[in-house]
Chain A
Amino acid sequence: MAMNSTGRGDTRPIDTHQPHTATGQITTFTANRGLQIEEALIFEQGQRGRTAVDLPEPPAIKSRLGSVKPRKDIGLPGLSEPQVIRHYTRLSQKNFAIDAGFYPLGSCTMKHNPRLNEAMARLPGFADIHPLQPISTVQGALEAIDSLAHWLLTLTGMAAIAMSPGAGAHGEQCGMIAIRAALEARGDKRVRVLVPESAHGTNPATAAALGYVVDSIPATADGRVDLDALKAKLGPDVAAIMLTNPNTCGLFERDIVEIARLIHEAGALFYCDGANFNAIVGRVRPADLGIDAMHINLHKTFSTPHGGGGPGAGPVVLSEALAPYAPASAVVKGPNGFTLVEHAEGESFGRMKAFAGQMGMFTRALTYILSHGADGLLQASSDAVLNANYVLASLKDVMSPAFDGPCMHEALFDDHFLKDTGVTTLDFAKAMLDEGYHPMTVYFPLVVHGAMLIEPTESEPKESLDLFIATLANLAARAKSGDAAHFTGAPRLTPRRRLDETNAARKPVLRWRPTEVLDEAAE
Chain B
Amino acid sequence: MRYLPLTGNDRRGMLARIGVGSVDALFEDVPKSAWRSQPIEGLPSHAGELDVERRMKALAAKNLPAGSVPFFVGAGAYRHHVPAAVDHLIQRGEFLTSYTPYQPEVSQGTLQYLFEFQTQVALLTGMDVANASMYDGSTACGEAVMMANRVTRRSRAILSGGLHPHYAEVTRTQARWTNFTAVDASADIDGNEDLAALIDGETSCVVVQNPSVFGHVRDLSSLAEACHAKGALLIVVVTEIMSLGLLSPPGEMGADIVVAEGQSIGNALNFGGPYVGLFATREKYMRQMPGRLCGETVDADGRRGWVLTLSTREQHIRREKATSNICTNSGLCALAFTIHLSLLGEAGLARLAQLNHATAVTLADRLAKIPGITVINDSFFNEFTVRLSKGAAGIVEELATRKILGGVPVSRLIAGKPALDNLLLVAATETTTQGHIDALAAAFEDIL
Q: How far is the CA of A147 from the CA of B56 in the complex (A)?
A: 11
Query: Could you tell me if A361 and B105 are in contact, using CB atoms closer than 8 angstroms?
Result: no
Supposing A62-B361, A367-B56 touch, asked if A361 and B99 sit within 8 A by C-beta, the answer is no
**A60: chain B residues within 8 A (beta carbon):** 358
**B306: chain A residues within 8 A (beta carbon):** 499
Cβ-based interface call for A235 (8 A):
no
Nearest opposing residue in chain A for B43, CB measure? A374
Cβ-based interface call for B92 (8 A):
yes
User: Of A40-48, A264-272, A470-478, which stretch is located at the interface?
Assistant: A40-48
Cβ-based interface call for B151 (8 A):
no
Query: Could you tell me if B68 and A496 are in contact, using CB atoms closer than 8 angstroms?
Result: no
Cβ-based interface call for B64 (8 A):
yes
> Which of B5, B97, B271, B275 lies in contact with A130, CB distance below 8 A?
B271
**A372: chain B residues within 8 A (beta carbon):** 1, 3, 46
Nearest opposing residue in chain B for A498, CB measure? B300
Q: How far is the CA of A354 from the CA of B303 in the complex (A)?
A: 42
Query: Could you tell me if A125 and B345 are in contact, using CB atoms closer than 8 angstroms?
Result: no
User: Of B9-17, B200-208, B224-232, B440-448, which stretch is located at the interface?
Assistant: B9-17
Q: How far is the CA of A252 from the CA of B318 in the complex (A)?
A: 26
Q: How far is the CA of A317 from the CA of B1 in the complex (A)?
A: 28
Cβ-based interface call for B198 (8 A):
no
Nearest opposing residue in chain B for A109, CB measure? B99
Q: Nearest Cβ distance between residue B193 and chain A, in whole angstroms?
A: 14
Query: Could you tell me if B299 and A500 are in contact, using CB atoms closer than 8 angstroms?
Result: yes
Q: How far is the CA of A201 from the CA of B361 in the complex (A)?
A: 50
User: Of A2-10, A226-234, A415-423, which stretch is located at the interface?
Assistant: A2-10
Measured as residues with beta carbon below 8 angstroms from the partner, the interface class of chain A is 35 or more
Supposing A55-B355, A252-B29 touch, asked if A308 and B102 sit within 8 A by C-beta, the answer is no
Cβ-based interface call for B36 (8 A):
yes
Please report which residues of chain A, range 37-82, place their CB below 8 angstroms from some CB of chain B when the two chains form the complex: 39, 41-43, 46, 48-53, 55-56, 58-79, 81
Cβ-based interface call for B415 (8 A):
yes
Query: Could you tell me if B295 and A353 are in contact, using CB atoms closer than 8 angstroms?
Result: no
Cβ-based interface call for B350 (8 A):
yes
Please report which residues of chain A, range 345-380, place their CB below 8 angstroms from some CB of chain B when the two chains form the complex: 349-361, 363, 366-367, 370-376, 378-380
> Which of B23, B119, B137 lies in contact with A386, CB distance below 8 A?
B23
> Which of B35, B320, B377, B379 has most A Cβ within 10 Å?
B320
Query: Could you tell me if B166 and A355 are in contact, using CB atoms closer than 8 angstroms?
Result: yes
Q: How far is the CA of A200 from the CA of B326 in the complex (A)?
A: 12
Nearest opposing residue in chain A for B398, CB measure? A134
Please report which residues of chain B, range 375-391, place their CB below 8 angstroms from some CB of chain A when the two chains form the complex: 377-381
Q: How far is the CA of A499 from the CA of B335 in the complex (A)?
A: 23
Query: Could you tell me if A386 and B6 are in contact, using CB atoms closer than 8 angstroms?
Result: yes
Cβ-based interface call for A123 (8 A):
yes
**A371: chain B residues within 8 A (beta carbon):** 2-3, 46-47, 49, 52
Q: Nearest Cβ distance between residue B52 and chain A, in whole angstroms?
A: 5
Query: Could you tell me if B85 and A116 are in contact, using CB atoms closer than 8 angstroms?
Result: no
Query: Could you tell me if A89 and B29 are in contact, using CB atoms closer than 8 angstroms?
Result: no
Query: Could you tell me if B11 and A386 are in contact, using CB atoms closer than 8 angstroms?
Result: yes
Query: Could you tell me if B358 and A140 are in contact, using CB atoms closer than 8 angstroms?
Result: no
For B2-33 the 0/1 string (1 means CB < 8 A from A) is 11111000110111011110010111111101
Cβ-based interface call for A307 (8 A):
yes
Cβ-based interface call for A262 (8 A):
no
Query: Could you tell me if B320 and A204 are in contact, using CB atoms closer than 8 angstroms?
Result: yes
Q: How far is the CA of A253 from the CA of B46 in the complex (A)?
A: 30
Q: How far is the CA of A123 from the CA of B354 in the complex (A)?
A: 30
Cβ-based interface call for B167 (8 A):
yes
Supposing A42-B342, A91-B109, A94-B112 touch, asked if A13 and B300 sit within 8 A by C-beta, the answer is yes
> Which of B68, B92, B136 lies in contact with A354, CB distance below 8 A?
B136
Q: How far is the CA of A62 from the CA of B19 in the complex (A)?
A: 80
Nearest opposing residue in chain B for A283, CB measure? B36
**A496: chain B residues within 8 A (beta carbon):** 104-105, 108, 299, 303, 305
With contacts defined as CB atoms under 8 Å apart, how many contacts are there between chain A and chain B in the complex? Answer: 732
Cβ-based interface call for B272 (8 A):
yes
Cβ-based interface call for A219 (8 A):
no
**B28: chain A residues within 8 A (beta carbon):** 405-406
Q: How far is the CA of A65 from the CA of B364 in the complex (A)?
A: 13
Q: How far is the CA of A328 from the CA of B412 in the complex (A)?
A: 13
Query: Could you tell me if B67 and A128 are in contact, using CB atoms closer than 8 angstroms?
Result: yes
Cβ-based interface call for B397 (8 A):
yes
Cβ-based interface call for B60 (8 A):
yes
Measured as residues with beta carbon below 8 angstroms from the partner, the interface class of chain B is 35 or more
> Which of A79, A93, A500 lies in contact with B109, CB distance below 8 A?
A93
Q: Nearest Cβ distance between residue A171 and chain B, in whole angstroms?
A: 11
Query: Could you tell me if A74 and B123 are in contact, using CB atoms closer than 8 angstroms?
Result: yes
Cβ-based interface call for A516 (8 A):
no
Query: Could you tell me if A133 and B272 are in contact, using CB atoms closer than 8 angstroms?
Result: no
Cβ-based interface call for B370 (8 A):
no
Q: Nearest Cβ distance between residue A249 and chain B, in whole angstroms?
A: 12
Query: Could you tell me if A375 and B45 are in contact, using CB atoms closer than 8 angstroms?
Result: yes
For A281-322 the 0/1 string (1 means CB < 8 A from B) is 011110011000000000000000111111111000000000
Supposing A74-B124, A310-B329 touch, asked if A50 and B345 sit within 8 A by C-beta, the answer is yes
> Which of A79, A134, A140, A357 lies in contact with B60, CB distance below 8 A?
A140
Supposing A72-B248, A144-B59 touch, asked if A113 and B96 sit within 8 A by C-beta, the answer is yes
Cβ-based interface call for B264 (8 A):
no
Q: How far is the CA of A201 from the CA of B323 in the complex (A)?
A: 12
Q: Nearest Cβ distance between residue B14 and chain A, in whole angstroms?
A: 4
Query: Could you tell me if A169 and B400 are in contact, using CB atoms closer than 8 angstroms?
Result: no
**B294: chain A residues within 8 A (beta carbon):** 510
Query: Could you tell me if A126 and B98 are in contact, using CB atoms closer than 8 angstroms?
Result: no
**B259: chain A residues within 8 A (beta carbon):** none
Cβ-based interface call for A137 (8 A):
yes
**A336: chain B residues within 8 A (beta carbon):** none
Q: How far is the CA of A172 from the CA of B61 in the complex (A)?
A: 34
Q: Nearest Cβ distance between residue B2 and chain A, in whole angstroms?
A: 8
Query: Could you tell me if A309 and B40 are in contact, using CB atoms closer than 8 angstroms?
Result: no
Nearest opposing residue in chain A for B252, CB measure? A69
Query: Could you tell me if B96 and A309 are in contact, using CB atoms closer than 8 angstroms?
Result: no
Q: How far is the CA of A65 from the CA of B57 in the complex (A)?
A: 43
Q: How far is the CA of A313 from the CA of B74 in the complex (A)?
A: 23
Q: How far is the CA of A98 from the CA of B4 in the complex (A)?
A: 15
Query: Could you tell me if A509 and B295 are in contact, using CB atoms closer than 8 angstroms?
Result: yes
Query: Could you tell me if B26 and A76 are in contact, using CB atoms closer than 8 angstroms?
Result: no
**A124: chain B residues within 8 A (beta carbon):** 60, 65, 67-68
Cβ-based interface call for A449 (8 A):
no
Query: Could you tell me if B343 and A51 are in contact, using CB atoms closer than 8 angstroms?
Result: yes
Cβ-based interface call for A450 (8 A):
no
Query: Could you tell me if A70 and B246 are in contact, using CB atoms closer than 8 angstroms?
Result: yes
Supposing A58-B355, A95-B107, A501-B309 touch, asked if A125 and B122 sit within 8 A by C-beta, the answer is no
Please report which residues of chain B, range 341-371, place their CB below 8 angstroms from some CB of chain A when the two chains form the complex: 341-355, 357-359, 361-362, 364
Q: How far is the CA of A4 from the CA of B326 in the complex (A)?
A: 15
> Which of A56, A311, A313, A373 lies in contact with B331, CB distance below 8 A?
A311
Nearest opposing residue in chain B for A78, CB measure? B345
Subset of 24 A-B contacts with CB under 8 Å: A48-B347, A51-B344, A55-B348, A65-B247, A67-B379, A95-B94, A95-B109, A96-B107, A110-B97, A123-B56, A124-B65, A130-B73, A140-B60, A172-B325, A306-B98, A311-B333, A312-B328, A355-B271, A371-B49, A386-B14, A459-B3, A495-B106, A498-B105, A510-B296
Kindly list 4 other residue pairs between chains A and B, CB separation below 8 angstroms, not including A92-B94, A311-B273, A438-B106: A13-B299, A105-B99, A356-B271, A380-B1
The 6 closest A-B pairs by CB, nearest first: A125-B60, A355-B272, A66-B379, A140-B62, A99-B93, A350-B173
